[in-house]
C-alpha cells in the first residue's frame, strides 16, 4: 500500500483480462472495470479500474478525500492495456466518486463519471456511486421457459413505454412513478391487457431528460431518476413473475458530448472517431463510436451482455442501426469512404455481427431487434450467411406506407392502394416486427388517433381498423403507450398519458378492442406461428382497390387452423360481398371491430357465415358477407378432412354499387 492508501492488487484485473480487452474479446468487462466492493487482506474497500491509456495521472476523488486530486492516485497496469487500477480500503456502498484524469497531451485535465459505474447521481449531478448488484431473483419460472416466450414462432405483442411519463403523481408536483411503484401497477395492467412484452425507452443513465434516454452515458447503470439498480431489478422481476417479457432500447450508435462523459476521455478521442466526418453526428450533435477500435467494441458488447446477465432482460432493441451502417448517413457535405471506396461502414458491420454472435451465443433465449430504416439486406439473417445476425428488424416501410394510407380521406384511398398492399410483397425478406412507436407520435406528428381522417367516430373506427390490420398482418407487433385508448394529444415526456380519457365510452371501446385483440391474437397460432414464412399466409383478394377492401388468410404451422381477415377501408357498409375460401362449412366470426362494445355501428354477420359451394378467387367455396364501415372482420375455420368439391364452379362476384 502506498502513502496515499492505495493498494494495487493482481486478483481483480488480470493479464488475461488486459489481453482480451486489447483484442476486443472481453465481453464481461463489468466484472472487472469500474468500482467493486471487495475484501483485500481482510480489509473491506473498493477496487477501481478505468481505461485511460493516454493519461499521465488518474485518481479517485470524492467526499472521502475532500475531492483532493492528489490523495488517491491509481496505478497504470504494466500490460499495455491502458487500464488504471487500485484498491481503496474503508470505502463502502453509497460513496460518491469521480475520476480525475490528467492527460499526456495539451495539459488536458478533467473530472469524469465512471464509464462502468453501476449507479450514478441524479442529473444534473454526475458523480458515480459505489454500488453492488446483489439481488434475490424470484423469476425462475420465467427464466426457465422464456425461450418459448421469446422465440420467433411465439406471439409477441409489445407495449412500448417511457417510464417517466406513463403515470405521474399529480398531487406530488407531477412526479413520475418510481421503479417500485411501477412494479405494483404495470405488470398487472399489461397482464390484464394481454401484452406479451414491454419495451422501455432507454433506462441506461442519461444526462438530459428531454432526450428520453437516447443520449446515453451510463451504459452499465439504470437511471437513478426512478430508483436504485435493485429497484429496477425488482420491476423486471415482477414483470417476469406476471408473465411479461422485458426489452430495452439500447443506443450504441452515438453518445452525448457532455464533458463529464465519454467524449475526449483521456485527452484524446478514445471512444469516438477523431475525424468529425466519422466521429460527429450532424443530426443529434453527438459523438459516434470508433467501431474499429477493439476496446470500444468490447465496451459496447459488454454493456449489452450486462443487461442480459445482471438484469435478466429478454432482449435489446438497437437504436438507429441505419446511422451505423452508412458512412454518408445525414452527411450532405461529404464523407470518408471505406477502403473500397464505398459508403458502407465496414467497422460498424463487423461490430454488429460480433455483437449478435456474442449475445445469442451466451443468451440464446433472448432477442435482438434492429431499428433499421433502409433496404439493407439480411439484417435479420445469420452472420454465417452474410447477415447482420439480428433476430428481428423493425418494419419501418410498413409503418410509413400504412400511416400514409390511413391518413388519406377514404374517398382517395383507392388511388393509394399500393401503399396498403406493398408490404406483403417483401413481408418475408426479413423477420419483421410491425411498429407504431413513439417516433410516430411526437415532434409535431400528433397522436395516432389524430392522424386518422373524418369526424370523431370515423377517427376511432379508423384506429380500430389500423390496429386490427396490424394484428392480422404477418410480423410481431408493437405500439406505443396511449394508443390502446386513443390518446388525442401528442405524447409529452413531461406528463402522463391521457388516462382520464377512459372515463368516456368511445375510448373505453378502443381500450377493450386492444385488450380483446391481444388475447385473441395470443390464442390463435395461425396469427403468430408462421410470421416469417410464406406458408403461413395466403392472399384471397387484394385487387379490389375501387372499394378499398382486402382479404387474406393466416395459417397455423400444422395448416389446420385458418384465420380469415377482411378489411374495409371505406365508411361504406357492404352487403353480400363475396370472398373465396378453401373450406366449406361454418366460418365463425370471432372478432369484429365494428361491434357496439368497441364503439362501432354493430354491422356484422351474426357470429358466423356458412360457405357456399360456389368457387371464387380460385377457391372452391365462397362467403357472402356483411362488411362493416371502416372495419376489420376475423373469421376462424378449423380445417376438416378432405371433402368432395361440388361440380358447379361458376359464380360472379357480388358487389353492391359503389
Q: With left for phi above 0 and alpha for psi between -120 and 50, is residue 398 left, alpha or beta?
A: alpha
With contact defined as beta carbons under 8 Å apart, do 573 and 546 qualify?
A: no
**CA 338, CA 347: separation in Å to the nearest integer?**
9
DSSP 504: S
Residue 276's nearest CA partner among 263, 265, 267 is 263
Q: Where are the beta strands (DSSP E) in 502-548?
A: 537-541
Q: Is 371 a catalytic residue?
A: yes
DSSP 41: T
Residue 279's nearest CA partner among 290, 268, 265, 270 is 290
- 160, 314, 371, 594: the catalytic one is 371
CA distances from 598 to 323, 452, 514 (A): 41, 17, 9
CA atoms within 13 A on the CB side of 527: 26
Cα-only R_g, the chain: 28
Instruction: Specify the 3-state DSSP secondary structure of 510.
Output: helix
Residue 499's nearest CA partner among 169, 279, 10, 216 is 169
**CA 117, CA 128: separation in Å to the nearest integer?**
6
Other beta carbons less than 10 A from residue 470's beta carbon: 22
Give me the count of residues in the chain: 658
Place of cell 357498409: 573
Q: Is 319 a catalytic residue?
A: yes
Other beta carbons less than 10 A from residue 551's beta carbon: 25
CA distances from 559 to 460, 538, 586, 633, 645 (A): 34, 11, 18, 20, 19
State the burial class of residue 292 (Cβ atoms within 10 Å of its Cβ: 0-12, 13-18, 19+): middle
Residue 168's nearest CA partner among 493, 491, 441 is 493
Residue 587's nearest CA partner among 569, 612, 568 is 612
**CA 213, CA 9: separation in Å to the nearest integer?**
36
- 95, 319, 401, 484: the catalytic one is 319
Q: What is the DSSP string of 459-471?
A: HHHHHHHHHHHHH
- For the annotated catalytic residues, the residue numbers are 319, 371
Amino acid at each position: 500500500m502506498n502513502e496515499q492508501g492505495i493498494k494495487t492488487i493482481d486478483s481483480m484485473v488480470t493479464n488475461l483480462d488486459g489481453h482480451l480487452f486489447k483484442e476486443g474479446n472481453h465481453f464481461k468487462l463489468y466484472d472487472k472495470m469500474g468500482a467493486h466492493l471487495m475484501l483485500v487482506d481482510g480489509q473491506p474497500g473498493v477496487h477501481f479500474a478505468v481505461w485511460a491509456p493516454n493519461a499521465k495521472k488518474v485518481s479517485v476523488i470524492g467526499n472521502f478525500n475532500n475531492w483532493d486530486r492528489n490523495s488517491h492516485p491509481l496505478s497504470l497496469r504494466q500490460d499495455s492495456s491502458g487500464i488504471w487500477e487500485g484498491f481503496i480500503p474503508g470505502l463502502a456502498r453509497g460513496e460518491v466518486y469521480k475520476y480525475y484524469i490528467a492527460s499526456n497531451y495539451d495539459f488536458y485535465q478533467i473530472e469524469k463519471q465512471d464509464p462502468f459505474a453501476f449507479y450514478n447521481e441524479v442529473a444534473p449531478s454526475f458523480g458515480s456511486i459505489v454500488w453492488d448488484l446483489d439481488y434475490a431473483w424470484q423469476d425462475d419460472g420465467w427464466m426457465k421457459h422464456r425461450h418459448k416466450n421469446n422465440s420467433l414462432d411465439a406471439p409477441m405483442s409489445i407495449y412500448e413505454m417511457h417510464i417517466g411519463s406513463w403515470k405521474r403523481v399529480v398531487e406530488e408536483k407531477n412526479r413520475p412513478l418510481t421503479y417500485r411503484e411501477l412494479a405494483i401497477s404495470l405488470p398487472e395492467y399489461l397482464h390484464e391487457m394481454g401484452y406479451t412484452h414491454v419495451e422501455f425507452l432507454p433506462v441506461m443513465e442519461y444526462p438530459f431528460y428531454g432526450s428520453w434516454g437516447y443520449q446515453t452515458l451510463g451504459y452499465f447503470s439504470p437511471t437513478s431518476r426512478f430508483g436504485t439498480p435493485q429497484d429496477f431489478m425488482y420491476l423486471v422481476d415482477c414483470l417476469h413473475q406476471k408473465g411479461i417479457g422485458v426489452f430495452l432500447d439500447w443506443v450504441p450508435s452515438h453518445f452525448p458530448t457532455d464533458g463529464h462523459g465519454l467524449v475526449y476521455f483521456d485527452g484524446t478521442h478514445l471512444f469516438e472517431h477523431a475525424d468529425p466526418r466519422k466521429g460527429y453526428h450532424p443530426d443529434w450533435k453527438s459523438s459516434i463510436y470508433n467501431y474499429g477500435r477493439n476496446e470500444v467494441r468490447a465496451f459496447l458488447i459488454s454493456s449489452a451482455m450486462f443487461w442480459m446477465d445482471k438484469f435478466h432482460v429478454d432482449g435489446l432493441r438497437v437504436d438507429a442501426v441505419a446511422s451505423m451502417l452508412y458512412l454518408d448517413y445525414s452527411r450532405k457535405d461529404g464523407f470518408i469512404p471505406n477502403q473500397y471506396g464505398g459508403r458502407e461502414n465496414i467497422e460498424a458491420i463487423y461490430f454488429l455481427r460480433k455483437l449478435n454472435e456474442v449475445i445469442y451465443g451466451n443468451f440464446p433465449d433472448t432477442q435482438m431487434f434492429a431499428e433499421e430504416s433502409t433496404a439493407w439486406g439480411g439484417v435479420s439473417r445469420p452472420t454465417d450467411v452474410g447477415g447482420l445476425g439480428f433476430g428481428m428488424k423493425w418494419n419501418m416501410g410498413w409503418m410509413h406506407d400504412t400511416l400514409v394510407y390511413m391518413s388519406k380521406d377514404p374517398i382517395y384511398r383507392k388511388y393509394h392502394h399500393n401503399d396498403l398492399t406493398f408490404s406483403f410483397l417483401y413481408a418475408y425478406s426479413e423477420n419483421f416486427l410491425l411498429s407504431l412507436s413513439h417516433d410516430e407520435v411526437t415532434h409535431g406528428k400528433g397522436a395516432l388517433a389524430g392522424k386518422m381522417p373524418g369526424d370523431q367516430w370515423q377517427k376511432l373506427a379508423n384506429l380500430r381498423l389500423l390496429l386490427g390490420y396490424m394484428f392480422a398482418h404477418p410480423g410481431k407487433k408493437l405500439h406505443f403507450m396511449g394508443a390502446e385508448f386513443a390518446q388525442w394529444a401528442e405524447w409529452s415526456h413531461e406528463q402522463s398519458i391521457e388516462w382520464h380519457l377512459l372515463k368516456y365510452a368511445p375510448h373505453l371501446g378502443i381500450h377493450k378492442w386492444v385488450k380483446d385483440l391481444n388475447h385473441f391474437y395470443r390464442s390463435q397460432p395461425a396469427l403468430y406461428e408462421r410470421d416469417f414464412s410464406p406458408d403461413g399466409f395466403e392472399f384471397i383478394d387484394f385487387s379490389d382497390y375501387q372499394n378499398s377492401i382486402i382479404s387474406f388468410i393466416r395459417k397455423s404451422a400444422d395448416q389446420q387452423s385458418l384465420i380469415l381477415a377482411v378489411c374495409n377501408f371505406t365508411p361504406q357498409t357492404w352487403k353480400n360481398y363475396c370472398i373465396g375460401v378453401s373450406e366449406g362449412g361454418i366460418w365463425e366470426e370471432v372478432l369484429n371491430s365494428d361491434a357496439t362494445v368497441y364503439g362501432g355501428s354493430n354491422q356484422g354477420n351474426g357470429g358466423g357465415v356458412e360457405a357456399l359451394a360456389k368457387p371464387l378467387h380460385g377457391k372452391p367455396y365462397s362467403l357472402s358477407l356483411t362488411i362493416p364501415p371502416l372495419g376489420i372482420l376475423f373469421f376462424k375455420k378449423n380445417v376438416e378432412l378432405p371433402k368432395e368439391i361440388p361440380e358447379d364452379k361458376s359464380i360472379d362476384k357480388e358487389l353492391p354499387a359503389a
